[in-house]
Amino acid sequence: INNDARSQGFDTREPFIVPIFLIRKERVKGNTSIFKTLEAISDITWQVESEDFNSSQRALAEKIINHRTLLESQIQTNDYFLVPIGIIKKSAGDAPVPFMSIFESIDDYKNEIEDLIPDSTAVNSTQRKNFYQTTLYKLLEYVRETYNYIYLPAEITTSEYSKIESELLQSLLGENLQQRISKIIKKKDITEINQYLNEFVEQLSGKLNGQYHFKRPTQRQNSFTQRHMIAKIIESYFSDKILHYIDSINRDTPVHNLSSGEKRKALLDLSMGFLKGNPKKTQQSTVLAVDEPELSLHATSCFKQFEKIREISELGIQTICTTHWYGFLPAAMSGSATYVSPNQSFIKCINLEYYRDELSALVKESRGSYLDTLEVKS
């Protein structure tokens, strides 16, 4: 869908992404309103069946239900929320808005969320009308603060590298650095800054004789937070700190001058170094996504790349990769692989712990038609 939107514009399909999050309940107990929202959505998601969706959605719904069944066999479902939430762009110029994909066709979600509207007279009719959408915005903001997503693209330009390196450092330096800075920057100071800025914007609008005014494009959060400021401080501090690679002859080279493949190697080395040196879990769950780790690398280096990725996952970091290289199968050793046929008509999940048996079953199931040609290099 996203590729279609990029190539054909927004007239045919809107680009969107909607992950389904598995959130441990004990992590949310301190936030009552979010807990209730997650509980309302999750109770439906754990129980919904493919027949509850529209006929055009059932093929996809069945895959989701089958995967949920597999999940139920491996965890205690009472300990987790299961929540679909993501974003969609209605048109090219619009800001993304919360979206639940095919789950929005089920009225129970909206009904259950609207049952959470307080009985208080302080809630006016407009707030009641917008309660569902406002609640999804708050949920999306909570997810963004709970998960830290790091994406390493296949091709990394010099300008992109600096941004990725900064985001990676902010994530891997972890809670410890953020807590230290938060002791210096008080929440009270942030509140006063927000109040001053809001008054300043109102004054500016007042000077425009009612012809113009400043307005948010969506219902997103209006004020910046202590967390936003800390992130900007860390980003600014590291923006002029250049990572250098020291080779076997002690030659010093800025990493942004290395090849695309060498840049990815450096970023994975950086991840490993910080995670091993700082094993303390942060408040955020980090997801590391790497697009084609093997690109531009020799086969021996490819194997080492996937070994690093496996080691990172063993440190409690969820890792996701796309790859055309079959050599990752023995390197990964655990986890799952999703095979997608060239025309995307067939998708199969493979347990990497038993990948030999799984591949044999796949070959028998397809009579050898699903797998692409394997090229083995010595």
What's the alpha-carbon Rg for the chain, to the nearest Å? 24
What mean pLDDT value characterizes the chain? 81
- Is 18 in contact with 55 (CB distance < 8 Å)? no
Torsion over CA: 83, 84, 90, 95 (sign): positive
pTM of the model: 0.72
> What is the distance between the alpha carbons of residues 359 and 365, in angstroms, rounded to a whole number?
10
Q: Is 39 a member of any domain?
A: yes
Q: Is 237 a member of any domain?
A: no
Q: Which helix (H) or strand (E) holds 23?
A: strand 20-24
Total Cβ atoms within 10 A of residue 8 = 10
Q: Phi and psi at residue 348, in whole multiples of 5°?
A: -135, 130
Q: Is 299 a member of any domain?
A: no
> What is the distance between the alpha carbons of residues 323 and 292, in angstroms, rounded to a whole number?
5
Q: Give 133 or 328, the one with higher predicted confidence.
A: 133
Q: Is 65 a member of any domain?
A: yes
Residue 53 has pLDDT above 90, yes or no: yes
- Is 211 in contact with 204 (CB distance < 8 Å)? no
Confidence of residue 123 (pLDDT cuts 50, 70, 90): low
- Residue 77 has a pLDDT of 94
In the chain, how many domains are there? Answer: 1
> What is the distance between the alpha carbons of residues 293 and 261, in angstroms, rounded to a whole number?
8
Q: Is 343 a member of any domain?
A: no
- Residue 220 has a pLDDT of 53
Question: Which tokens sit at 224?
Answer: 């910046």
> What is the distance between the alpha carbons of residues 333 and 260, in angstroms, rounded to a whole number?
26
- Compute CA distances 257 → 60, 242, 248, whole Å: 44, 11, 17
**Which residue range is the domain that position 40 belongs to?**
1-147
Which range is least confidently modeled, 14-18, 261-265, 329-333?
Answer: 329-333
Q: Is 16 a member of any domain?
A: yes
Q: Is 201 a member of any domain?
A: no
Q: Is 334 a member of any domain?
A: no
